[in-house]
Structure 1
């Protein structure tokens, strides 16, 4: 008897490819740990007995007034005024991840909508929306942020708004290009010939076929948003102290030149930023490979080696 053929869904194939990517799994594991640490920041503070703003001038500073290095009481050491660096990193992860993910989702939603409309209708609609994208991309980010901070003052909502405003154009351009290709496909022409409206074609026929690029580019927008927020906080335009922020922690160490005597003040926040952005980028690459229909997985790739190659 012929062997039974088991049918696998596209989701099963995607998960198999993703689970076979070791770098992607390591990155996903780190992101999950980081999310758990951010969500459990209050628990970490309660477990250590140190809040994010508590100053331990007796035990958190040396007799000369310098921060103490990593120890059993302060896992990552203390900062220049005796605050627990590990607890502040946990709360900083909450702020960075929240702003990064929320900003990426909002920017993706705006970019997908505008890219979908521009690519589908074309003509003067595409021209106008294309010029809007060019206008947004031509605005100097720091100059705009300085002007807004001078008027409204630094805040989380202002940082989030600026990141979203300057981030959606990338998604908009990608989706526009995809829609220009999809709207001439047979299934779209068939829906149009059956009398389907523009709204139905865009959001019922075309949008589901954009799932892969939307997921991939949204994932890759998260590290960009995190770096954006850290840069604004480093320049004093983002999160208002004493609220912990990775960029603000680096700025405090740099402004006081305390990093020359306390290396941990730069190492741990910088390492957190590096590993977080690297993990999201690697995860985005893994999702791109897993969602690619032409990708047959690592076993198939090994089987396709040229003859004579060991």
Structure 2
């Protein structure tokens, strides 16, 4: 035999504002709370910011070192056999076989890499948004074809 719980007619006790209630948090707040606890994420973010700032400041580094990225220092930075010398106070990463400053060339190369990364990301976002809008608007077979192609 099944038993039925008696119904209560008492009013539920609602706590006062601020008493025992949990405040909701936005996704951004949740992300930031988790991100602050992750030491590796902070290190990665710091390195990414440092690399971007160094790439932006590449001409400044070229002025500080006094070396243009394509300037040749064959007499100064290669030995009598044509082999590049190692790093020193003027050439922080050394020189290549043509006597060019590797540090300055690396920083200028980072500029190109970051530009390509941002361009590829922007292109992917534009294509994804256009295809997503088309799939959502038309639906049906077009949605299926776009979805399966992207999968």
User: TM-score per shorter chain, which class?
Assistant: 0.7 to 0.9
Whose relative contact order is higher, 1 or 2, with alpha carbons under 8 Å and at least 6 apart? 1
> Do structure 1's residue 56 and structure 2's residue 73 form an aligned pair?
yes
**CA 1:10 to 1:41, structure 2 compared with 1: closer, same or farther past 3 Å?**
same
> Do structure 1's residue 16 and structure 2's residue 72 form an aligned pair?
no
Structure 2: runs of 5 or more not aligned: 1-17
TM-score (normalised: structure 2): 0.77
User: Counterpart of 2:108 in 1: which secondary structure?
Assistant: helix
Question: Match of 1:110?
Answer: 127
**CA 1:4 to 1:122, structure 2 compared with 1: closer, same or farther past 3 Å?**
closer
Instruction: Tell me which structure has the larger Cα radius of gyration.
Output: 2
Q: Show CA shifts across 1:70-91 (max 9, x none).
A: 2222111111100000000000
How far apart, CA to CA, are the structure 2 residues paired with 1:58 and 1:105? 44
Question: Match of 1:227?
Answer: none
TM-score (normalised: structure 1): 0.40
User: Counterpart of 1:27 in 2: which secondary structure?
Assistant: helix
Question: Match of 1:308?
Answer: none
Structure 1: runs of 5 or more not aligned: 134-172, 175-310
Question: Match of 2:42?
Answer: 25
How far apart, CA to CA, are the structure 1 residues paired with 2:127 and 2:32? 28
Deviation at 1:58, TM superposition (A): 1.6
Deviation at 1:14, TM superposition (A): 1.4
Structure 2 counterparts to residues 246-265 of structure 1, below 5 A: none
> As a proportion of its length, which structure holds more helix?
1
Deviation at 1:3, TM superposition (A): 6.1
Deviation at 1:127, TM superposition (A): 5.1
Q: Show CA shifts across 1:4-40 (max 9, x none).
A: 7555333222111111111111111110010011000
How far apart, CA to CA, are the structure 2 residues paired with 1:27 and 1:87? 23
How far apart, CA to CA, are the structure 1 residues paired with 2:19 and 2:141? 58
**CA 1:5 to 1:128, structure 2 compared with 1: closer, same or farther past 3 Å?**
closer
Q: How many residues align?
A: 134
Question: Match of 2:62?
Answer: 45
What's the RMSD between the two structures over aligned residues? 2.3
User: Counterpart of 1:118 in 2: which secondary structure?
Assistant: helix
Question: Match of 2:52?
Answer: 35
